[in-house]
Chain A
Amino acid sequence: MSGLLSLRGLRVAFAGEGGAAMAVRGVDLELEGGEGLALVGESGSGKSATAKAILGLHDMSSTAVTGSVRFEGRELLELGEAELRSFRGRGASMVFQDPGTSFNPLLRMGEQVAEAFRSVAGLDRKAAREAALGLFSRLGIRDPVTRYAQYPHEFSGGMLQRMMILLALAGRPRLLVADEPTTALDVTVQAQVLLFLEELKEELGMAVLLVTHDMGIVAETSTRIAVMYAGRIVETGGTAEVLGSPAHPYTEALLEAMPRPGSRGTRLATILGLPPGVYEADSGCPFFPRCRHALASCMDGLPPSVEAGPGRKSACFRTHSLSLRGIA
Chain B
Amino acid sequence: MLAYLARRLLQLVPVLLVASFLVFVAARLTPQDPAVVMAGGRQTSTAVLEAIRAKYHLDESVPSQYLRWMAGALLGDLGESYRLKQGVSAMIAARLPVSLQLIAMSVAIALLAAVPLGILAALRKGSWVDILATSLSLAALSSPVFLTGILGILLFSYTLGWLPALGSGRNFAENLRYLLMPSVALALNMLALSMRMTRSGMIEAMRRPYIQTAILKGLPRRTIVLKHALRNALLPLVTITGLQIGFLLSGTVLVEYTFGLGGLGSLLVNAIQTSDYPVVQGLTLFIVSAFLLINLLVDLLYGIIDPRIRQA
Tell me, yes or no, whether A55 is within 8 Å of chain B by CB: yes
| B177 CB–A CB distance under 8 Å | no
> Across the interface, do B126 and A103 meet the contact criterion of CB distance under 8 Å?
no
Q: Is the CB of B218 within 8 A of A61?
A: no
The proximity string for A residues 83-119 relative to B, scoring 1 for CB distances below 8 Å and 0 otherwise, is 0011011100110111001111111000010011001
State how many angstroms separate the Cβ of B214 from the closest Cβ of chain A: 7
Instruction: Flag if B125 contacts A104 (CB, 8 Å).
Output: no
Judge whether A101 and B219 touch: CB under 8 Å.
no
Residues of B within 8 A of A104 (CB): 210, 213-214, 228, 231-232
Is A141 in contact with chain B by the CB < 8 A criterion?
no
Whether B217 pairs with A101 at a CB distance below 8 angstroms is no
B307's partner among A94, A153, A171 (CB-CB below 8 A) is A153
A88 and B308 within 8 A (CB): no
B216 is an interface residue with CB less than 8 A from chain A: yes
Whether the Cβ atoms of B215 and A57 lie closer than 8 Å is: yes
Say whether A96 contacts B218, CB under 8 Å. Answer: no
Across the interface, which residues of A come within 8 angstroms of B213, CB to CB? 96, 102-104, 112, 164, 167
Q: Does A168 have its Cβ within 8 Å of any Cβ on chain B?
A: yes
Q: Mark B219-239, 1 if CB is under 8 A from A, else 0.
A: 111000001100110000000
Closest beta carbon of chain A to B127's beta carbon, Å? 9
Q: Given A153-B307, A153-B308, A103–B216 Cβ distance below 8 Å?
A: no
Q: Is the interface of B mostly helix, strand, loop or mixed?
A: helix
Known contacts A61-B125, A61-B126, A96-B209; A105 and B308 CB within 8 A of each other = yes
A253 at the interface (CB under 8 A from B): no
Known A57-B212, A96-B209, A107-B228; contact A120-B308, beta-carbon cutoff 8 A:
no
User: Looking across the interface, which residue of chain B has its beta carbon closest to that of A55?
Assistant: B216
Which residues from chain B contact A170 at a C-beta distance below 8 Å? Answer: 217
The reply to whether A105 and B217 contact each other, CB–CB distance below 8 Å, is no
> In the bound complex, what is the Cα–Cα distance between A168 and B215 (angstroms)?
11
Q: Assess whether A86 is in contact with B210, with CB atoms less than 8 Å apart.
A: no
Complex alpha-carbon distance, A119 and B228, angstroms:
15
**Known contacts A61-B126, A105-B306; is-contact A116 B209 (Cβ 8 Å):** no
Which residue of the partner chain B has the closest CB to A117?
B217
Whether, in the assembled complex, B208 has its beta carbon less than 8 Å from a beta carbon of chain A, the answer is yes
- Verify if B296 is at the interface (C-beta below 8 Å from A): no
Residues on B with beta carbons closer than 8 Å to the beta carbon of A120: 217-218
Name the CB-closest residue of A to B125.
Answer: A61
> Across the interface, which residues of A come within 8 angstroms of B311, CB to CB?
153-154
Residue of B nearest to A122 (CB): B218
B216 and A168 form a contact (CB under 8 A) = yes
Given A96-B209, A101-B208, does the pair A106, B231 have CB atoms closer than 8 Å?
yes
- For A93, A105, A106, A116, the residue with the greatest tally of chain B CB atoms inside 10 Å of its CB is A106
A84 CA / B32 CA spacing, docked (Å): 75
CB <8 Å contact, A102 and B126: no
* B127, closest chain A residue (CB): A61
Q: Any chain A CB within 8 A of the CB of B298?
A: no
What is the CA–CA distance of A154 and B212 in the complex, to the nearest angstrom?
21
Query: What's the minimum C-beta distance from A194 to chain B, rounded to whole angstroms?
Result: 20
CB-CB < 8 A to B214: which residues of A? 104
Is the Cβ of A102 less than 8 Å from the Cβ of B125?
no
A230 and B125 alpha carbons, distance in the complex (Å): 30
Chain B 278-312 interface residues, beta-carbon cutoff 8 Å to A: 305-308, 311
Contacts beyond the supplied A101-B209, A102-B210, A104-B231: 11 A-B pairs with Cβ under 8 Å: A88-B216, A88-B217, A94-B212, A94-B216, A103-B210, A103-B213, A107-B231, A115-B217, A115-B219, A119-B218, A167-B217
Partner-A contacts on B (CB < 8 A): 125-126, 208-210, 212-221, 227-228, 231-232, 305-308, 311
